[in-house]
Structure 1
Amino acid sequence: MEGQQTVNFAELIAKGGVTIWPLLFLSILSVGTILERLWFWSRVLIQEKLIINRVMEAATLNWRLVEKIAREYKNHPLANFIYSPLQLINPEPEVFHLALEAAADDELAHMRKGEKVLEAVIALSPLLGLFGTVWGLIQALSSIKLSDLGTASTSGVTLGISEALISTAAGLLVAIISLAFYRLFQAFWANQVRIFRKIGSQLELIYRQKWLEAETEGLPVDFHLETDSSLER
């Protein structure tokens, strides 16, 4: 439309005031963290179902294959969680349980990487935006004299106020986007907690059953992969 003005990115930066550069830095930090976490979670979720199916099938049919399968996916958090107690040589069920818990704590903590960065961005961005707006308003209104009220000399104040609000809008935009992805990653993490508990409980139950069967039949307890020569060929 005729008379309609468009503002490009460079003009927004120029009019954003003193806080626009810290907000730009926070936005870059947030975007980088979001992209890294999206890549991480995409790899986790794509392979997860396959790992669960293979591990649970192996645990039922041939326990020694569980270690082999977990080793194949050693870069996956769930596989690392499963593989950690299997590195022990024929541990007792109680020790197996403790090893699973310790591995779960480590992997789940690693999955929360980047959350502190997003939390900081969510907290700081609106405050920086508000500070920029207040600072801009102070500068815009400080040039007004009582004798100038109602005259054409105050016409620039409106423009100054609108420019001061840019920093608040920018801060809110950065915080909203960061918060949306932060909640998404939290939902992914909460689902992983449920999966780790379920898989850990099932593996522990199977391990205890096989341990008791070996003791009842008077057989040596031997579940380690390296002792099965048929798997080495």
Structure 2
Amino acid sequence: MDIQKLFFDGGPVMYPLLALSILCGSVILERLWFWLRILTQEKQIVDRVLDAAQDNWEVAADIAKQATDQPVGRFLYAPLGLRKSDVETFRLALEATAEDELAGMRRGEKLLEAVIALAPLLGLLGTVSGLQQSLGNLQIGDFGTAATADVPAGIGKALITTATGLTIAIVSLVFYRLFQGLVVNQVKVFRKAGNELELLYRQFPPDFSNSTSIAQETPRQSFNPPRKRGKNQFPNPPAPPNVSDSLDPDTDSP
């Protein structure tokens, strides 16, 4: 099968279909690489962070910080990177980060949805225009004569765009459903990891007493009031004269 010949036989509608196929292919390849990196490293990151959190929260935070190039690493580091937090703040940090990361995982879905909707319609448009060209010049008396010999070939060429559009839409739909399933699975992974991390936080809360005391003492030691930095540059003003002395009757008049 000559693909180049089929492309030109399909007519001008094949050009937008080609553009849609390129967009669809680029999104699929990028998403496949994205999910391949996540699925191969995700479980290891979660296990290391949870294991370290049982003994030392600072070590767990360092492990999560090193894995911030992964969505699950950023998800776990969001509450661990806080200097001081309570249970409610810990949970809010997990929920907010989970929403952002899941939204990033859905990147490209809108484009695939557009391809799924547009590709069959463009293929049908090419078929209708091809049929119009093939059957537009025929008369009623031409059926069964030599004038209709090229009609089946024209109809076959007109159906090329429909087949192309359906093929692009089917491939896009398959990967669209695959990526949606992976996102749903990530929701479960994030929920499970977040619940386990929060449970460890409730059982073994980190000790912020040292960091709190340092944070409170440091500003007092480093801050010197302006009055204590040095002597006053301006001399003290002289004491005002005693008004009672000037009004004393025993005082000599000038």
TM-score by length of 2: 0.80
Instruction: Give the gaps of 5 or more residues in structure 1.
Output: 1-6, 224-233
1:172 aligns with 2:156: no
Q: How does 1:141-156 map to 2 (within 5 A)?
A: 141-156=135-150
| Aligned AA (2:53) | A
Q: Determine the structure 2 residue equivalent to 1:220.
A: 209
Q: Deviations over 1:38-57 (max 9, x none)?
A: 11000000101110110110
Q: Deviations over 1:19-41 (max 9, x none)?
A: 11111100000000000001100
From 157, 166, 175, give the equivalent of 2:151. 157
Counterpart contact for 2:57–2:80, Cα < 8 Å: no
| Aligned AA (1:36) | E
| Aligned AA (2:114) | A
From 100, 122, 129, give the equivalent of 1:135. 129
Counterpart contact for 1:85–1:99, Cα < 8 Å: yes
Counterpart contact for 1:90–1:221, Cα < 8 Å: no
Bigger mean CA offset, 39-48 vs 131-140: 131-140
Q: Deviations over 1:66-114 (max 9, x none)?
A: 1100111111000001111222212111011111100000011001111
Indicate how the Cα distance of structure 1 residues 27 and 209 shifts in structure 2: closer, same or farther if over 3 A, else same: same
Instruction: Give the gaps of 5 or more residues in structure 2.
Output: 213-254
Q: Determine the structure 2 residue equivalent to 1:112.
A: 106
Query: Rg bigger for which structure?
Result: 2
Bigger mean CA offset, 94-103 vs 78-87: 78-87
User: What is the number of equivalent residue pairs in this alignment?
Assistant: 212
1:141 Cα shift? 0.8
Q: Deviations over 1:120-150 (max 9, x none)?
A: 1111111111111111111111021122111
Q: How does 1:8-47 map to 2 (within 5 A)?
A: 8-47=2-41
1:50 aligns with 2:44: yes
Counterpart contact for 2:112–2:176, Cα < 8 Å: yes
Q: Deviations over 1:148-168 (max 9, x none)?
A: 111011111110000000000
Which secondary structure does the structure 1 equivalent of 2:149 belong to? helix
Q: Determine the structure 2 residue equivalent to 1:82.
A: 76
Counterpart contact for 1:74–1:80, Cα < 8 Å: yes
Q: Determine the structure 2 residue equivalent to 1:3.
A: none
1:222 Cα shift? 5.9
Which secondary structure does the structure 2 equivalent of 1:61 belong to? coil
Which secondary structure does the structure 2 equivalent of 1:89 belong to? coil
Counterpart contact for 1:59–1:66, Cα < 8 Å: yes
Counterpart contact for 2:54–2:204, Cα < 8 Å: no
Which secondary structure does the structure 1 equivalent of 2:90 belong to? helix
Which secondary structure does the structure 2 equivalent of 1:74 belong to? coil
Q: Determine the structure 1 residue equivalent to 2:247.
A: none
Q: Determine the structure 2 residue equivalent to 1:100.
A: 94
Q: Structure with the greater relative contact order (CA < 8 A, sep ≥ 6): 1 or 2?
A: 1
Q: Matched residues, percent identical?
A: 53
TM-score by length of 1: 0.87
Q: Determine the structure 2 residue equivalent to 1:228.
A: none
1:221 Cα shift? 7.7
1:64 Cα shift? 1.6
CA RMSD of aligned residues (A): 1.6
| Aligned AA (1:155) | A
Which secondary structure does the structure 1 equivalent of 2:209 belong to? coil
Indicate how the Cα distance of structure 1 residues 192 and 38 shifts in structure 2: closer, same or farther if over 3 A, else same: same
